[in-house]
Copies of this chain bind each other. A is one copy, B any other.
Amino acid sequence: MTSTATSLKGQPLDKAVLDAILRRRLFYTPSFEIYGGVGGLYDYGPPGCSLQANIVDLWRKHFILEEDMLEIDCTVLTPHNVLKTSGHVDKFADWMCKDPKTGDILRADHFVEAILEARLNGDKEARGQQVEDKDDPKKKKKKAKAEAVKLDDALVIEYEEVLARIDNYDGPQLGELIKKYGLKNPATGMMPSDPVAFNLMFQTSIGPSSNLPGYLRPETAQGQFLNFAKLLDFNQGQMPFASASIGKSYRNEISPRAGLLRVREFLMAEIEHFVDPQGGKKHFRFHEVEHIELVLLDRDTQLAGKTTTRKIAVGRAVKEGLVDNETLGYFLARIHLFLERVGVDLSKMRFRQHMQNEMAHYACDCWDAELFTTSGWVECVGCADRSAYDLSVHAKKTGAPLVVRERREEPLVFDEWQVDLEMKKFGPMFKKDAKAVETALLATSQEQRERLATQLGEAGKVTLEVPGVENGKVDIGKDSIKIEFRKRIENTREFTPNVIEPSFGIGRILYALIEHNFWTRGIDTGDEARSVLSFPPAVAPTKVLLVPLSSSAEFKPIIKKLSQRLRNLGVSNRVDDSSASIGKRYSRNDELGTPLGITVDFQTVQDGTITLRDRDSTSQVRADEGRILEAIKSIVDGNKDWKKIASELPKFEGQEIEVAAR
């Protein structure tokens, strides 16, 4: 695995060039740019918006429809209480420090990481070694400031170990690292203040009287947990089942990066799969995926300060205990298949296991699907086993029964002392204290009950300690109480399900997908360099480009009819009838990732045939409208690829091809 990002064709990937294209072609653009912009907020233009919609559409088919998940749409606005219970109010924070001179705010872990990396690079330079280039312009700037100073060999190892574990330090630990290594802000030469926690949720207040504090949700999960009982009921009580939500979430990042990788408002797609914790969390469809090979970077390897991955079938990974259970393994495989389907380069994908102190305390295992980009390895999907934590805390706080009750096949039988009360007499006897006395009675142990039964038989009454009632002791006569040793049969089992949570950052996947499908045509042949985005047809923003050979009026009705027919087939298309050359019009749509192009020329007017061009090979075929539309539909639906179409339809090599392929 190279540590330097490359294009789809293995060419070095220049992030600055790609960024310029993405902005120019309006894939995305900084929000509110005419007002100076706001860090971490981006708008998607038409191609980005369509790419996003297509990824979400595939996600819905791959997960929700394929597995009959229950999709729900919960509100972003969330009252304080809910996020207090979930732990977000107290713990959903990053550590930030202030530069004492400028008041600039720095995210503590990023700060430590940047300075140590700069020092390591300075050391390499001093030793005459090549400095690795992660192609991140922001980091490059900081690196440039590193002086070529040779470090002790032991310190190099220490720095490298710190960097391998950078996600594991809390605020005080980061503060110690800053002091220990004397880390100063390059901008001011000052050591920053001790890290303090900064809660990442956007706060607001709900209602006119400002008395209900709330937040914008940081994840869609909580809404799904709160609806658990209703969803179980909707599912006719059947377990296991999964809910799913697609929607915006919000994190008030301290230092949002340029680009889509760390933003303050983002689209998430999350699944909460509810499973019985008993029986090893098996999954009934696991056999369908157990042969799928995953690239894993496990916990132990990372603890050793290494990043060596291992390719292993998910069936074996579960058997070996590397992945905690079948259900978790099932979803890792399904995530792998989804990312492959949308067009991720599998050689740039790995699953990294969270280390113990990186996970939430309640999680029992967690793996991130990471994609390699010019910013290094980026977490794009998280897949955690959250155990029963969320349902338990909300149930405890609200008293709502977020549990599953199921009939036991083999009822449990207990032989035990049981207390029966004659409420008609018992109630009037104790009046307002009746409830307290009853509670005290029901709280008695088996041993106590046995003693009470003896007492009742002998004295015709029992004497029970009930603090706060009468003089702390009450007498209950045998006409209102019965204590017997008999069988109790428990037919129902009650449990809190565990939750496996695959959680997708759609914007990050979208960005990685762009990098993985980007390449430059013409570099090898010495022709003019032209950018291409080779998206799979299913996710490409527009499927077909329609170009009339010239502005001749006779082409207009043909183009219009073709466009309408494609639309009726559900195939998105755009017409480019500008005066640019055919080649130029094709290449500016290669840059948008449009997989297919139709040319209408003078021959079309005569015999009704049209040409179809493939974006990736630039080769063309020619046939009548019916056959071409059929070919398009089969490519867009994923039933045929271009090679197949090219073998079925007559090849075309007219003048346009030469222009297009130049």
- Bound CA–CA A76/B49 (angstroms): 15
- Bound CA–CA A73/B507 (angstroms): 12
**Pairwise interchain contact A236-B77, C-beta atoms closer than 8 A:** no
Q: Tell me if A632 is interfacial: C-beta within 8 Å of chain B.
A: no
Given A68-B574, A71-B50, A203-B204, are A78 and B32 neighbors across the interface (CB < 8 Å)? yes
**Pairwise interchain contact B73-A52, C-beta atoms closer than 8 A:** yes
Partner among B25, B208, B567 whose Cβ is within 8 Å of the Cβ of A65: B567
In the A-B complex, the 6 residue pairs with the smallest Cβ-Cβ separation, listed nearest first, are A34-B400, A44-B73, A43-B74, A34-B398, A41-B75, A46-B70
Partner among B42, B103, B198 whose Cβ is within 8 Å of the Cβ of A75: B42
**Pairwise interchain contact A43-B227, C-beta atoms closer than 8 A:** yes
Cβ–Cβ < 8 Å partners of A308 in chain B: none
Q: Tell me if A82 is interfacial: C-beta within 8 Å of chain B.
A: yes
Q: Tell me if A538 is interfacial: C-beta within 8 Å of chain B.
A: no
Residue of B nearest to A576 (CB): B236
**Pairwise interchain contact A75-B43, C-beta atoms closer than 8 A:** yes
**Pairwise interchain contact B35-A82, C-beta atoms closer than 8 A:** yes
Partner among B39, B42, B207, B223 whose Cβ is within 8 Å of the Cβ of A31: B223
**Pairwise interchain contact A209-B264, C-beta atoms closer than 8 A:** no
**Pairwise interchain contact B73-A209, C-beta atoms closer than 8 A:** no
Partner among B29, B49, B105 whose Cβ is within 8 Å of the Cβ of A230: B29
Cβ–Cβ < 8 Å partners of A105 in chain B: 208-209
**For chain A residues 9-37, which have a beta carbon within 8 Å of chain B?**
25-26, 29, 31-35
Residue of B nearest to A81 (CB): B35
Counting contact residues on chain A (CB < 8 A from B), the size range is 35 or more
| Shortest Cβ gap from A580 to chain B (Å) | 9
Cβ–Cβ < 8 Å partners of A82 in chain B: 32, 35
| Shortest Cβ gap from A89 to chain B (Å) | 14
**Pairwise interchain contact B35-A398, C-beta atoms closer than 8 A:** yes
- Bound CA–CA A272/B104 (angstroms): 40
Given A77-B202, A227-B43, are A72 and B96 neighbors across the interface (CB < 8 Å)? no
- Bound CA–CA A26/B72 (angstroms): 10
Q: Tell me if A427 is interfacial: C-beta within 8 Å of chain B.
A: no
| Shortest Cβ gap from A52 to chain B (Å) | 7
Residue of B nearest to A571 (CB): B65
Partner among B207, B231, B394, B398 whose Cβ is within 8 Å of the Cβ of A252: B207
**Pairwise interchain contact A265-B75, C-beta atoms closer than 8 A:** yes
- Bound CA–CA A156/B650 (angstroms): 81
Given A204-B202, A204-B216, are A44 and B72 neighbors across the interface (CB < 8 Å)? yes
Cβ–Cβ < 8 Å partners of A230 in chain B: 26, 29, 45
**Pairwise interchain contact A79-B35, C-beta atoms closer than 8 A:** yes
- Bound CA–CA A74/B28 (angstroms): 10
**Pairwise interchain contact A77-B34, C-beta atoms closer than 8 A:** no
Residue of B nearest to A209 (CB): B105
Q: Tell me if A621 is interfacial: C-beta within 8 Å of chain B.
A: no
Q: Tell me if A274 is interfacial: C-beta within 8 Å of chain B.
A: no
Cβ–Cβ < 8 Å partners of A103 in chain B: 209
Q: Tell me if A415 is interfacial: C-beta within 8 Å of chain B.
A: no
**Pairwise interchain contact A43-B72, C-beta atoms closer than 8 A:** yes
Q: Tell me if A444 is interfacial: C-beta within 8 Å of chain B.
A: no
- Bound CA–CA A29/B243 (angstroms): 15
**Pairwise interchain contact A77-B265, C-beta atoms closer than 8 A:** yes
